[in-house]
Amino acid sequence: MRKLIVLSLAALSLAACDTKTEVKSEKTEGGVTKVETKTNVDGVKTQSGMELSHYAVRAALGQNPNTAAYVTIKNIGKDDDRLVSAACDCAAKVELHTMKMDGDKMMMAEMPEGFAIKAGETLELKPGGNHIMLMGLTTRPADGQTQTLTLTFEKAGTVSIDAPVSNTPLAAASEHTGH
């Protein structure tokens, strides 16, 4: 049913444009970065958007060749979307990781297809949970520095954030649990 409605809207706008147009806006204010993309492909319009907050990179510790990065991502678009990859100039390889039980041990595991983020939902990458793994560090992020991270979404596209580096990155304060 929903699909029918979308198609009929698309038919109305078909006359206006039958190729691909894309309007992208990106802005950062008070530690929150918003990226919004409006795409019109053959008259089918999508509006995607992400709001990124609480981003941080954990400072490289000792001789550890790896570290992690965190960000809270809210899908403010109208469509379900997916975080498909992340990148950093500081690392040879970047993976999206989750945590899962292996026997009685909590282990990291790669999410090769990334993380789905439904419209209106929030994905938290945070210490102790899902995270961005920075592997084979080529520069070692140090406390107090800023490190640029690039996130790529299936629909919202690519967005870069300047994440503060910290020895003690904090999890985003949850609205739902009181400690």
- Contacting Cu ion (CB under 5 A), which of 108, 119, 137, 171? 108
> Out of 133, 135, 137, 171, which residue is the one contacting Cu ion (CB under 5 A)?
133
Q: Does 87 bind Cu ion (CB under 5 A)?
A: no
Q: Specify the stretch interacting with Cu ion by CB under 5 A; choose among 19-27, 36-44, 101-109, 134-142.
A: 101-109
With CB under 5 A as the contact rule, which of the stretches 51-59, 92-100, 145-153, 167-175 interacts with Cu ion? 92-100
CA–CA separation, 87 and 109 (whole Å): 18
DSSP sequence for the chain: -HHHHHHHHHHHHTTT--S-EEEEEEEEETTEEEEEEEEEETTEEEEEEEEEEEEEEEPP-TT-S-EEEEEEEEE-SSS-EEEEEEEETTEEEEEEEEEEEETTEEEEEE-TT-EEE-TT-EEEE-TTSSEEEEEEESS---TT-EEEEEEEETTTEEEEEEEEEESSPPPPPPSS---
By CB under 5 A, residue 97 contacts Cu ion = yes
- Is 171 a binder of Cu ion (CB under 5 A)? no
Which stretch in 8-16, 52-60, 106-114, 154-162 sits in contact with Cu ion by CB under 5 A?
106-114
- Dump the DSSP string for 9-29: HHHHHTTT--S-EEEEEEEEE
Q: How far apart are CA 127 and CA 169, in angstroms?
A: 7
Q: Which stretch binds Cu ion (CB under 5 A): 21-29, 56-64, 127-135, 140-148?
A: 127-135
Q: Shortest gap between Cβ of 108 and Cu ion (angstroms)?
A: 4
Is residue 82 part of the contact set for Cu ion (CB under 5 A)?
no
User: Total binding residues for Cu ion by CB under 5 A?
Assistant: 3
- The distance of closest approach from Cβ of residue 84 to Cu ion in the complex, given in angstroms and rounded to an integer, is 17
Residue 69: CB minimum distance to Cu ion, A: 10
Give the interface with Cu ion as residue ranges (CB under 5 A). 97, 108, 133
